[in-house]
Chain A
Amino acid sequence: MPIHNEFDSIAALRDALRDRKVSALEIADSALQAVQASSLNAFLHIDPELTRAQARAADALLAQGDAPSLAGIPIAHKDVFVTRGWRTTAASKMLADYTSPFDATVVQRLHQAGAVSLGKLNCDEFAMGSGNENSAFGPTRNPWNREAVPGGSSGGSAAAVAGGLAMATTGTDTGGSVRQPAALCGVSGIKPTYGTVSRFGMIAFGSSLDQAGPIARHARDLLELLDPMSGFDERDSTSLEDCDGVANAPGRIRNAFDAANARFDAAGPRPLEGLRIGVPEEFFNEGLAADVAQAVENALSVYESLGARRVAISLPRTRLSIPAYYVIAPAEASSNLSRYDGVRYGHRAQSYTDLADMTSRTRAEGFGPEVRRRILVGTYVLCHGYYDAYYLQAQRIRRMIADDFQRAFADQCDVIMGPVTPTAAKRIGENRDDPTADWLADIYTLGVSLAGLPGMSIPCGFSADPSPLPIGLQIVGNYFREGELLAIADRFQQATDWHQRKPESK
C-alpha cells in the first residue's frame, strides 16, 4: 500500500513532506512498488531510477525549506505527453520504441513545481477511444471491477488514481477523455478552457479540441495540479496570453478559487446562495440509464441544499455534437497522424516494394483499427467535393453549439450540470462488434469540447449493478471559470463522501 494513500490530500502530504515526517524517496519507492505489483495495466513505462532521482532532488529542496508546491508529490503522465526520460508511445505500436528528445510543457511545469513522476500511463491509442481498449499494450482495468473498462482515453490516468497508485495524474481531453474516465473510475477530473494549458509536447489528436487536464481524488487536489500546469506558452500558438483580462499564468486559477471560496464562506450556512445551476433537458434523454439519472438528481439536490437554484435550460444542438465532433476530430487527426510514416522515427514495415508501399504497410501495421478508422473518416470528409458538406457544415454546427452555451450563460445560469456518461462503465469487449456505439456515449461531453469550455467530473454515486460502479457529475462553466468550478465542486465534496470511497483492494 503506497504511503501517499494515508494522506487525504496533496496539501496534507505536502505538510508531512515539509515537516520531514516522510521523505519524497519513501513516497516514490512505495508508489513504485505498488505500480509494479499492480494488475491494472495502468502504467506503460516506468523507470525506477529516474523516479528516484526526481524524488531525491525533491528531498533536497524540501531539506532546504524552500520547496515548490508539489515537491515530492507522486504523479504520473498520460503517455501522450512526450518525456525525455521515459518512452512516449501514445499507446501505439507505431511509437513502441520512441523516446522524445524534449519534455512537454505540462511535464516540464509539473517537474518545476517539484512533482515526482512515476512514469507513463496507459490510454487509448493516440487518445482515440473511450474505454482504454484501443491501447496497443492491452486494456487498463477499472479498479472497481476488473471486468469493466476504466473509460478513456485517459483510462490509465483515472485508474491509477482510483487504484491508489498515484496521488494525481495528467490526462488529455479531446471529446471527454478526462471527464469520462474520471466519472467511470470514481475520481475527479477537469478539462480547462481551450488555450489555457499548453499543447506543446502533447501528441496531437484533434488540435482544435485537445486540452490537457489533471485527474485526482477531489477538487482541491485538481487545483494543486491545474494551477501550475496552466499558463501561456510561446511554443504553442493557440495558447492564450490573457484570460478575460487576467494573465494566463500560474496563480490565476488559484486566486479565482480562493476568491470564490471566500465568497461562499461569507454567505453562511447556504454557501452557494444565488448560484444558478442550468440543467439541460437534452442531457436527460431516453439514452440515460436510470441509476445515472438518479445519482445526478441526488447530486443536484445536494447543491440545492447548499443554496443553489436549479434552472431548466436547453442546449438544442446536443445531439448534433456527435456528428460534428466525429467529422472535425477525425479530419484533424487524419492530418496530424500523417507524420507517422516510418521515414524518420517510429515503426517501419520490414519489407516493401516501393515508397508508397512502405508508407501504406508501415501505417497499416503501426496503427490499430480505431485509429485507422478515424484516419479514413477524416481523410474522406476533407476530400474535394465532400469538404463543404462535411467539414464546413460541422464547423458551422460547432459555432452554433458554442452559441447555445453562451446564450445559457448570458441569460439563465452560472454553471451547467448533468451526467458525464449515459451509463456506468461497460464491460471490457462489450461493443467490440459495433465500434461506433461508443461514439454515441460521448453525447454529454462533446459539446463542451466543441465549445472549448471548461468542464469537470466529480463522483456522485454508484450504479445499480451487483458490483456497483461509480457515476460522475459533470459541471461546466463559462470560459476561464476553472477556479469557480473547482470551488463549487469542492463545496459538494465538503458535503458528501463519494470522493472518499475506495475500491476494495483486490
Chain B
Amino acid sequence: MRLPRLFRTTSFRLTLLYAGLFSLSVLFLFGAVYWSTVGLMSRQIDETVRNELIELQTAAPGGGLAELQQVVKEYAARSPSFFYLLQGADGRVLAGNLPSLAPELGLRKLSWRSEPPPAGLGNAAKGIRGYGMKVADGAYLFVGLSSNELRRMQTALDRAFLWSLAVTLVLALCGGAAMSLGPLRRVEAISRASRDIMGGDLGRRIALRGSGDEFDRLASSLNAMLNRIQALMNGLQQVSSDVAHDLRTPLTLLRQRLELARRRGTNVETLHAAFDHSIRDIDAILDTFGAILRIAQIESGSRKAKFTRIDLSELLEGLVETYQPVAEEKNQRLAGAIAPELSIEGDRELLTQLFANLIENAINHAPPGISIGVGSSQNARGLEAVISDSGPGIPSAYRQKVFQRFYRLETSRTSPGNGLGLSLAAAVAELHEAAISLSDNHPGLRVTVVFPAARVSPDADVSRFNGEPADAAHRGAARLERSGP
C-alpha cells in the first residue's frame, strides 16, 4: 500500500526523470572515455598496420608475386609482433605466419576465442586486427597486429560503465525515494487532518513544523481558511440560536398581552391600548429581523461593487450636527474634531449608519452630563475615526463580546437597542476592510475605526496634518500621478 503511493508522488516521478538524465550523462561520459582510449588505440593499430603494408609494397619494387613472397617471408621472420599472410588466388598460403583466410578486403578483425589460435602464434593471436588487400596475380595480402590489449581495455571499460550505471541508478532511486518520503509524509498529515475535519472534528488543525517551508506556509493558509470557515459556521449557528432565543421572549410577552386583553379588555380604550402596545412590540421584532437581514446582506459583500468616493469629513460633520440636539436633550455634550477633506472609497449609506450607530451607542449608554467626541485624522496607519465618550465604558473582558450579535451588557439591558448595533457596525467596517476596536478612554469608551491607507483616497490634501515624512513623500508621488495626462 505504501510503495505504490510512493511511486505516484510527483517527487518520485521527478526522481525517475533525473535518474534517466544521470544515466544519459554517464553514457556520454563513457562514450568520450571510450573514444579517447579504445578508439585511439585502434586507430594507432590501424595506422601501424597501414604503414607496414606500404613498407612491404615499397620493399618489393617490381611488384611481382615472387618478390613480394620473398619480402613477406623476410618481414615475418624479422618482426614477430606483426602477423602476415600472403595467399595465392587459389587460397594457398605463399608466405606469412597465419593460416589461409577468406580474401576479404579492408579492415578486418580476426579472433580465435572459442578454438585455440593457429599453432605457433601463441596467445597474442587470440585477436588480430589488420588490413587485407589485393596484390599482383589475384593474390591476397593481409597484415595485422594483436588486438588483445585493446580488447582487455574494452572489457574493462564496459564493466566500469555497467557498474557506474547501476550505482547511479540505485543512488538516484534511493535518493528520490528518500526525498519523496519527507513531503509525502507532510502531505499525508494534511490529508489525515482534512479527513478528521470532514469526519466532524472541526476544531482540528494541521500541525506546523515551524521551519517556515512551503508546507508550513500551505498548512498555515489552510488553517487560516479553516478558522474563517469555522468562525462563519459558528456565527451562523450562533445567529440561528440567538434569533430563536432573542425573539422567544418578546413573542411570549406579546402573546400574554393579547391573551390578557382578550380576557379582561371590556372597554374599547383598554383594547386599543393593548393593540398599540402589541404593534410596538411587533415592530421591534420586525426591526430585529430587518437588522439581521441587513447584516447578512452587508456580510455577503455585494455592496462593494457600488463603492464611490466619499467625503468622510463631511459625513462626520453632518452626523455631529444631527446628533448635537439629541445629546443636548440628554444634557450631554457632543463635539467634533474632524480634519477636513478626508475621503475614502465606500458606501455612503452604510458608513452613515456605522457612525450613527456608534454615536447613538454613546448617547444611549452614557449618563447625562458626559461629553462625547467625534474625531478623525489621517496618520501612517490610514484614516482614523474615533468616537469617544466619558461614560462608564466597557470592561476590557467584554470589549470583544459586544460585537457579537444580540450581545448586550447587563448594564445596558434597559437602554434601547436590539444588541445588533455594534454587529452591524463591525460588518460595515469589515466590508470596508476597516478595523474597528474598543479601548479605554480613561474614563469611558473609545471606539476607533481605521481605514487602511490603501482605501484612503490620494485626493485628500493632508499636508496640513502632522503625518510622517515618509507619508508625505508618498502623498507627493500620488499628487504627481494625478497631474499626469
Chains A and B are bound partners: no
